[in-house]
Structure 1
Amino acid sequence: MSFKMEMEKFFAKMGKADKKMALALEQPKRGTGELELLRFTKKVRVKTWDADGFCGVTINGSYTKNAHILMLPGGAYTLEPTGRSREIAEYFAMEERMRVSIFQYPLAPEYTALTAHQCLIKAYTGLICEYPDDEFYLFGDFSGGGLALSFLQELRDMGNLPMPVKTAVVSPWLDISLNNPRIKIAKKTDPVLPVDALKAAGARYCGPLEPDHPFVSPIFGDWNHLGPILIFSGTEEILTPDCELLAERAGTLEGTELIYKKGAGMPHNWIMTASKETEATLELISSFFQEEHMEF
């Protein structure tokens, strides 16, 4: 493990990152503006758009291919995207020459999962209409990963929109209730995620939906016929027990290729830290998206 990642884990523990996140979830900041045009590097072209008033941006590097990532940033369905989400999108656009659209879907507590899904359908439909020659890929981290997997199931059930070619998620929130008994053990090594605060945030996001509804807990949905899916989680985070539970079903699925990569010693959502491990993970995701056959 790189020195930078070791230091990130050390400071997360010593700085009580879980308590800071709990406070942020109780008092979420709004209007942080991390997706504003002027915040992006001048090396990419940026176009803004909206779906029912919720903002999105599409960025292009030089000589962009017709591969198009729809990126759903994490934040426990409550926090706005950080600058790292923007930097990751810039990486895919500049280094991998893929078009990237980031959608800031509706967040709790102002909105619930029903509104988030309604707006995401409109955003995806609009992108397909505007870029009819593009092949779409779905990418999300943390709650964005959970939403991506819920959305994938919804698209399959709707049957009137093209499915993403492939999906990749990092540290996805698969069960909004966090009731897996193995989470109590995992919590001992997770310095980032506050279980009780996440449960409260998840309840706000559920709104009228039951916690086992696939819109909020994709692990309880139908996982057949979703195409290739690449999932990452770290050995030192509370979301890994549910990822392991899902991975156990991989061999029983029809029309879904589930690839699970567990990062040894990795903390929650490590791609939010610029490091050698993050570079390797993003390269794997890019290769997964763009290669027809790849050994993992």
Structure 2
Amino acid sequence: MSNNKSFIAKIEETVLKFLKPEYMDSKDKADDFINDRLNAQEKPVKSIFKSFDFNGMQVFTFGNDNAQNTILYIHGGAYISEINYQHFIYCYLLARKLNAHVLAPVYPLAPKHSANDAFEAITELYKSRVQKNNLIMMGDSAGGGFVYSFCQYLKTVNLEQPDKIITFSPWVDISMSSPPYNSSDDPILGEIGLKEIGKSWAGDLSTKDYRVSPLFGDSTDLADTLIFAGENEIFYSDIRKYAENLKRDGVNVKLVTGAKLFHIYPLFPIPEAKNVLNDIKRYLDD
């Protein structure tokens, strides 16, 4: 990996630090945020991009259904924030650059819903696509963590694994049980807020249940996986640990580290993100 962070990435990081949500570093503000989300009205997400209804779940779609690759993209947002313009733009780029049909479901979120609700919704969507050639599960942050939990879960219901797994900065331990975490250095996330949100997402499950924290699950027989993570992000040590678990369980895994970079850096308009898309294209062509 290159040790030189681009000038544009440095600017982006400065902006992110300025915009970092207060609830990430304050339990009181995190509790207020969770309560606000609990009282917020659920309504369809508006976007210029197309979506369809699947068993009552809104699913955004990018590219052609007959494309070479099919990507089921699970968006991040700490399991509490809905899909946003950043995800839409990235899914659009994936469809164009990778000759892919990309599906991005608006899955049930905390605190009104918990992980079990999302598993039920995503399982049915997955079943409708599992026979597609070159099916790739992809996700960022919380969505990346969900992908690994979901693929572990697939083994328990005798469903086929996807052809490949690609994640960006996956949240693999919502219990945040391996401190110290570099909350003060991470321009996006904070340990205090994440712990509170994680409890809400787990619902009746332990925060160390594999269905919410894949770090503690059995990853044997998972598909080949490619992980991108920023060296300076709060999840980096947990991601490295999970990559080692994948290797231990016999999974063909590659971890690509963005030197001195931040959480989900591939989704930002920085030069390093272009390199990531090229890496993914080569990975899918192998």
Say if 1:56 and 1:101, in contact at 8 Å, map to a contact too.
yes
Asked if the contact 2:74/2:139 (under 8 Å) is kept, the reply is yes
Give the superposition deviation at 1:274: 1.2
User: In structure 1, what is the Cα distance between the partners aligned to 2:157 and 2:282?
Assistant: 29
Deviations 1:108-133 (A, max 9, x none): 000001111111101111234xxx44
Aligned to 2:265: 270
| SS state at 2:137 partner | strand
Deviations 1:57-95 (A, max 9, x none): 22225x953310000000000000111111111112122
Q: Does the aligned pair in 2 maintain the 1:18–1:191 contact within 8 Å?
A: no
Judge conservation of contact 1:69–1:100 (CA < 8 Å) in 2: yes
**Match 1:219 to one of 177, 194, 215:** 215
- Contact 2:24/2:192 (CA < 8 Å) preserved in 1? no
Contact kept in structure 2, 1:34 and 1:83, CA below 8 Å: no
For the Cα contact (< 8 Å) 1:19–1:194, is it kept in 2? no
Q: Give the one of 190, 194, 197 matched to 1:194.
A: 190
Tell which deviates more after alignment, 202-211 or 188-197. 188-197
Q: Which amino acid aligns with 1:78?
A: I
The change in CA–CA distance for 1:3 and 1:30 in structure 2 (over 3 A counts) is: farther
Higher relative contact order, chain-length normalized (CA < 8 Å, sep 6+): 2
CA distance in 2, matches of 1:264, 1:33: 38
**Residue in structure 2 matched with residue 107 of structure 1 by the alignment:** 109
* Secondary structure in structure 1 of the residue aligned to 2:89: helix
- Paired residue type of 1:125: K
Query: Which residue does 2:85 correspond to in 1?
Result: 83
Q: Tell me the residue number matched to 1:43.
A: none
CA distance, structure 1, for counterparts of residue 132 and residue 142 of structure 2? 29
Residue type of the partner of 2:189?
Answer: L
Q: CA deviation at 1:34?
A: 5.2
- Report the 3-state secondary structure (helix = DSSP H, G, I; strand = E; otherwise coil) of the residue aligned with 1:247: helix
1:4 to partner: Cα distance: 1.8
User: Which residue of the other structure, out of 46, 63, 70, is the alignment partner of 1:60?
Assistant: 63
Q: Identity of aligned pairs, percent?
A: 27
Secondary structure, counterpart of 2:253 in structure 1: strand
Residue identity in the other structure for 1:138: M
Q: Give yes or no for the alignment of 1:158 onto 2:157.
A: yes
Alpha-carbon displacement from aligned partner over 1:145-187 (angstroms, at most 9, x marks no partner): 010000010112221x22100001111111111111232xx22
Residue of structure 1 in register with 2:176 after alignment: 178
* Contact 1:64/1:93, CA 8 A, preserved across alignment: no
After TM superposition, the score normalised by the length of structure 2 is 0.88
How many angstroms apart in 2 are the aligned matches of 1:246 and 1:47?
A: 33
Task: Verify: 1:72 aligned to 2:74, yes or no.
Answer: yes
| Aligned-pair CA distance for 1:31 | 6.0
Change in CA separation of 1:287 and 1:34 when aligned onto 2, cut-off 3 Å: farther
* Aligned-partner Cα distance in 2 for 1:55–1:151: 19
Contact 2:44–2:58 (8 Å) recurs in 1: no
Q: Which amino acid in the other structure matches residue 5 of structure 1? A: A
Structure 2: gaps of 5 or more residues: none
Gap regions ≥5 residues in structure 1: 41-45
1:117 alignment partner, one of 106, 116, 119: 119
1:287 pairs with 2:285: no
In structure 2, what is the Cα distance between the partners aligned to 1:89 and 1:32? Answer: 21
The one-letter amino acid paired with 1:157 is T
CA RMSD of aligned residues (A): 2.2
**d(CA) in 2 for partners of 1:16 and 1:133?**
40
2:126 partner letter: Y
Distance 1:93 1:64, change over 3 A: farther
Contact 1:34–1:86 at 8 Å: present in 2 too? no
Query: Aligned pair 1:168/2:181, yes or no?
Result: no
- Measure the CA separation in 1 of the matches of 2:87 and 2:132: 25
Q: Tell me the CA shift for residue 47 of structure 1.
A: 4.9
2: CA distance between counterparts of 1:102 and 1:265? 29
1:70 maps to a residue whose letter is L
Point out the more displaced range, 73-82 or 279-288.
Answer: 279-288
Scaled by the length of structure 1, the TM-score of the pair is 0.85
CA distance in 2, matches of 1:250, 1:162: 18
Q: Look up the equivalent residue of 2:243 and give its one-letter code.
A: A
- 8 Å CA contact 1:236–1:265 kept in 2: the answer is yes
Give the equivalent residue in structure 2 for 1:17.
20
